[in-house]
Amino acid sequence: MYRNGHVGIVLLFLSPFLYTFLRAGRPFLALLSLGVLVIEPLPNRDQRFDGFRNRGTSHTFFTAALVGWLCAGGGWVLGTYVTAPIADWLSTTGINAFTWIVVRFSALDAPTLSAVGWCVGSSGIVLHLLGDIITGPGVQPLLPFSKRRVSFVGLHPDSRLANGLLFGLGAGAILLVALLATPLGSVLQTGLTLLSDIPTP
């Protein structure tokens, strides 16, 4: 798929997680989960290096696992040396305004951020593979253990209809999350209620 098709797939995947995190009052986890958008395009960077072919080793489950472990390590470092010290420092200030931040930063400990890092890193690569597997050329996701090429549906990667449809579905899902799980939805609902209360002449 082209970039907009890949982005649409990622947004569709992220929407239930964003909704769950936002409804549970975990905005930092919702923000971190958007890291999938950063990881997902990485497999196509293989074209910039000599000796790598497109849809080769970078488009495999092995790469997904490797990136997942790297992001998990990054999450552990972030939780150990950044969020935990910040939460400790803010808790010692005694400023009530920081309580909300302290509670949420304390929840972002090393094990939690490590798990989030693994999920973000590995799912970002897997979602890219999904976008390429539904096209005619497919990918070889089991390299280096198997050269079997996998292709479902057989869409043309440059199909404007398929890419546009996927992007539209993803954008619609995110808009729905914004309406149901953020203050924007409450504001709109209040506005609609006020409009409906206006007497008609």
Per the structure, how many domains does the chain have? 1
H helices within 58-109, ranges in order?
61-78, 84-93, 99-107
pLDDT at residue 104 greater than cutoff 80:
no
Give residue-wise pLDDT tens across range 59-102.
999 999 999 999 999 999 988 888 878 777 777 776 666 666 66
CA angle 172, 178, 183 (to 5 degrees): 160
Confidence of residue 40 (pLDDT cuts 50, 70, 90): very high
Which residues form the domain of 91?
3-197
DSSP single-letter state for residue 48: G
Give buried/exposed letters for 125-139 (b at 16+ CB in 10 A, else e): bbbbbbbbbbbeebb
